[in-house]
Amino acid sequence: MGSVDTELLSSLFLLPDTIAIEAVYPTTAHLTVQAACILKSAACPLCQHFSERIHGSYERAVADVPCGGRRVTLTLMVRKFVCGTQECPRKIFTERLPALVQSYARMTNRLNEVLQTLGFATCGELGERLVPKLGMCASGPTFLRRMRAVSVLPPESVHILGIDDWAWKKV
Ligand SMILES: [Zn+2]
């Protein structure tokens, strides 16, 4: 695949600018999209200093939103960097891709949002039956976890608090 093809694919899949698609492996029901971060350096999550010293890499598979009715799996080549800060206790760190996927998550941010929306719109149970038809895969417990993740977000501050005018007995 030439560089023009990969740029076109990256724009079609609407991935963050820092992620480049290297290859796509299609089957009738599934797309495997191989991608990697194009930035030369990454910031240490502890001391925030950038490093270009690559220690190694590994492949991480995460589920993504469907494409043309087909399930999509992103196989991300994730790099490990050496932190160059002497005092930093973190000698090796893994690059983060927060615009695409959270640490340790098994699905992209956007697939998470789609499942949350479906879960709330269908009360979870119907969503479980609906997602295979939409090119996704999620069990009932997955829906519940996605919905609970939303419900534990801290509430915004209250500006105006109203109290209903109600009493057991009017005086
Ligand atoms: Zn560090």
Comparison of pLDDT for 130 and 25, the residue scoring more: 25
Centroid of ligand 1 to alpha carbon of 120 (angstroms) = 40
What per-residue confidence (pLDDT) applies to 2?
47
pLDDT band at residue 155 under the 50/70/90 scheme: low
DSSP for 14-71 reads T--TTEEEEEEEE-SSEEEEEEEE--S-EE-TTT--EE--EEEEEEEEEEEEEETTEE
Centroid of ligand 1 to alpha carbon of 72 (angstroms) = 34
Centroid of ligand 1 to alpha carbon of 84 (angstroms) = 7
What per-residue confidence (pLDDT) applies to 165?
67
Centroid of ligand 1 to alpha carbon of 44 (angstroms) = 5
E strand or H helix at 9? helix 3-12
Q: Is 92 helix (H, G, I), strand (E, B) or coil?
A: strand
Q: What is the pLDDT of residues 34-92, one digit of tens each?
A: 999 999 999 999 999 999 999 999 999 999 999 888 999 999 999 999 999 999 999 99
Centroid of ligand 1 to alpha carbon of 41 (angstroms) = 13
Centroid of ligand 1 to alpha carbon of 101 (angstroms) = 21
- Token digits of residue 105: 């998550």
pTM: 0.76
Q: What is the pLDDT of residues 95-121, one digit of tens each?
A: 999 999 998 899 999 999 988 888 888
